Amino acid sequence: MSVTPIGWQSPARREAILALLAARADAALAQWARPDALTSSFDHAKPAASVESCWMFDARRGAIVVQGPENGFGELGCRLVGLATSDGLGIAENLGRRAFVDVLAAICGVGAGECAIVRHYVPAAEQMEPRRGTVSVRWQIAGLELTLHLDSALCEHLLPRIRAGQANLIARDVAVTTTSVEVEAIVGLGSIDALRIADLKPGVVIKTDARLDAPVFLNFGGADRSALNGDLIALGERRAFRRGNTTSHEELT
């Protein structure tokens, strides 16, 4: 079961990732060619009308789906060594592939040996969906145009989010114990014949079965949850409940 979060990268994050890719690509390409010999630029990709070929670059901490021309590696290799056309022996293609992996690994911030590339890859549609956190960029390198779809894991690795909410988290037990509950103090007055109910009217006085030292129960959470018992006292101008000796564990019903 594949579980991926639903969430878009914000415009600010997309811009930051784009800038990071450009900077890392330039630094990596400098290892392969003079800066003026191999130009590179990134911008935001639009949906590709047609795709000749697709690769998947697995960078361990995330993946990039790469779309481009079928002979992309060969073309890159030719540009690196200054050939007008491919040598036909696969030398330019191998060189291009190696450079490509090296630069992408540098972009991802991992070693080239940690990466794997899958040719003729058939991506699932959701791998290129922005709502899955994918960032799609167009990479123009020495006249070669590639579309890179960076998955959300790689974007997180490149640009970790600052989770502002973390500082405000509180422990679960604190969340529970600081919750307020409505409590009511109830004194049980025994029982009354149903017959006498009909006689109740304003002014009627009823002597109950309950003695004056009958416990007062502090109920909470609705109806009949007795939490504590105690007695009724006066506290200044208000009634008050004074906790008795019985433990709450014994009283809970």
Query: Which region, judged by CB under 8 A, interacts with another protein, from 41-49, 109-117, 119-127, 209-217?
Result: 209-217
Give residue for tokens 């304003």: 202
For residue 3, the tally of other CB atoms under 10 A from its CB is 4
- Using CB under 8 A, pick the residue from 47, 191, 250, 253 that binds another protein: 191
Q: Is 161 in the site for another protein (CB under 8 A)?
A: no
Residues 213 to 252 in contact with another protein, rule: CB under 8 A: 214, 216, 218, 220, 223-224, 227-228, 232-245, 248
Q: How crowded is residue 201: how many other Cβ atoms within 10 Å of its Cβ?
A: 6
Stretch in the footprint of another protein (CB under 8 A) among 35-43, 65-73, 89-97, 181-189: 181-189
Interface with another protein, residue 91, by CB under 8 A: no
Q: Which amino acid, residue 234?
A: A
Residue 140's SS3 state is strand
Instruction: Give me the residue label for tokens 């060969």.
Output: 74
Specify the long-range contacts of residues 241-244, CB closer than 8 Å, at least 24 apart.
241/185, 241/216, 244/215
Query: Cβ closer to another protein: 37 or 233?
Result: 233
d(CA 23, CA 215): 77
How would you classify the pairing of strands 116-118 and 144-150?
A: unpaired
Report if residue 139 touches another protein, rule: CB under 8 A: no
Q: Which stretch binds another protein (CB under 8 A): 7-15, 40-48, 85-93, 178-186?
A: 178-186
Binder to another protein among 125, 205, 250, 253 (CB under 8 A)? 205
Residues lying near another protein in the complex (CB under 8 A) are found at 176-195, 197-198, 200-212, 214, 216, 218, 220, 223-224, 227-228, 232-245, 248
